[in-house]
Amino acid sequence: MLIGIEYVVVAYVIWLFTFVCYIFMTKRRLKITNRAVAALEEKFTESSTHSMTEKNK
């Protein structure tokens, strides 16, 4: 009755696995980029406040 069930299973597993990986990778990429942006922005504000205090002196 369930002839060809292995094909159906393989198709669904491939589909699912692809998106599990894709979502995981995209989220990780977003996280890493967010972190890098935050670090750079912090560096910017630090250096600008630093130069400001220099000038004030």
Residues that bind other proteins (CB under 8 A): 1-5, 7-8, 10-12, 14-15, 18-19, 22-23, 26-27, 29-30, 33-34, 36-37, 40-41, 43-44
CB 50, min distance to other proteins, A: 15
Of 3 and 52, CB closest to other proteins: 3
Classify residue 2 by its DSSP letter: -
Backbone angles phi, psi at 24, to 5 degrees: -60, -50
What stretch of H or E contains 57? none
Report the Cα–Cα distance between both ends of the chain, in Å, rounded.
87
Judged by CB, which is closer to other proteins: 37, or 51? 37
